[in-house]
């Protein structure tokens, strides 16, 4: 089984330590730093999927929120592109749900949370009408690429900031906490990918 772990910036990198064999298959984990934003993320992910042919893509990193608390871990299977939301009336796709493909392949069954990540090309610092549990700048693009390539996708986010209360500087200050929180979360999940 090949798992590809994506993250936007080096400060979000967390090494996953899943068992060497799961479900009778040897597990190989690769990592991809995509850079910030939907375009870079989609570009680099498409290239590595074509080359490495992973069985599962796990995006991990940080996110802002209006509904959760700093330090929460949110597992997302649903994704909204906030940049395309205004064009929804024109029939533009702005939502993706990756649950069906994950279930079809039998991956991440024990990861019970079903969060929604709102993605856009801006770092939100002001409270507004934001749909979803968390916000980031890459997940929707990755979910789209994975769906088009037939690869199951899931995203695990550590909440670093509350929209309207925090700045980019405060997000940077929380990166070390995010790595610790994500590492703890994945160590507790060593079974059941």
Chain position carrying tokens 């533009």: 92
**How far is the CA of 121 from the CAs of 50, 104, 106, 179, in angstroms?**
25, 31, 32, 23
Element (H, E) at 45: helix 38-52
- Specify burial of residue 4 (Cβ count, 10 A radius: 0-12, 13-18, 19+): buried
* 181 part of a folded domain: yes
* 141 part of a folded domain: yes
Residue 133 DSSP symbol? S
* 164 part of a folded domain: yes
Number of domains in the chain: 1
The predicted structure's pLDDT at residue 20? 65
- The CATH number that applies at residue 22 is 3.40.50.1580
Q: State the residue range of the domain holding 32.
A: 2-188
Contacts of 109 (CB under 8 A, 6+ apart): 103, 192
The predicted structure's pLDDT at residue 89? 75
Instruction: State the Rg of the chain over Cα.
Output: 16
Reported pTM: 0.90
* 193 part of a folded domain: no
* 163 part of a folded domain: yes
- Specify burial of residue 126 (Cβ count, 10 A radius: 0-12, 13-18, 19+): exposed
* 175 part of a folded domain: yes
Q: Residue 11: count other Cβ atoms within 10 Å of its Cβ.
A: 15
The predicted structure's pLDDT at residue 161? 86
The predicted structure's pLDDT at residue 188? 82
Q: Which residues of 40-58 are buried (b: 16+ CB within 10 A; e: fewer)?
A: bbbebbbebbeeeebbbbb
Chain position carrying tokens 């929380």: 174
The predicted structure's pLDDT at residue 136? 94
* 112 part of a folded domain: yes
* 40 part of a folded domain: yes
> Mean pLDDT in each 10-residue stretch from start to end of the chain (193 residues)?
95 82 77 96 98 97 90 96 82 91 90 90 68 93 98 96 74 87 85 51
């Amino acid at each position: 089984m090949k798992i590809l772990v994506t993250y936007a910036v080096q400060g979000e990198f967390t090494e996953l330590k899943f068992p060497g064999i799961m479900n009778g298959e040897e597990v190989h984990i690769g990592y991809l730093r995509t850079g910030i934003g939907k375009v870079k993320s989609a570009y680099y992910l498409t290239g590595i999927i074509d080359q490495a042919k992973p069985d599962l893509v796990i995006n991990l990193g940080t996110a802002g929120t209006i509904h959760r608390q700093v330090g929460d871990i949110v597992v997302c299977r649903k994704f909204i592109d906030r940049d395309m939301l205004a064009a929804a009336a024109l029939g533009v796709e702005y939502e993706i749900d990756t649950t069906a493909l994950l279930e079809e392949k039998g991956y991440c069954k024990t990861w019970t949370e079903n969060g929604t990540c709102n993605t856009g090309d801006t770092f939100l610092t002001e409270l507004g009408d934001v749909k979803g549990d968390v916000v980031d700048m890459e997940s929707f693009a990755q979910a789209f690429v994975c769906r088009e390539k037939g690869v199951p996708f899931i995203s695990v986010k550590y909440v670093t900031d509350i929209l309207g209360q925090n700045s980019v500087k405060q997000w940077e200050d929380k990166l070390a906490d995010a790595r610790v929180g994500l590492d703890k979360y994945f160590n507790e999940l060593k079974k059941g990918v």
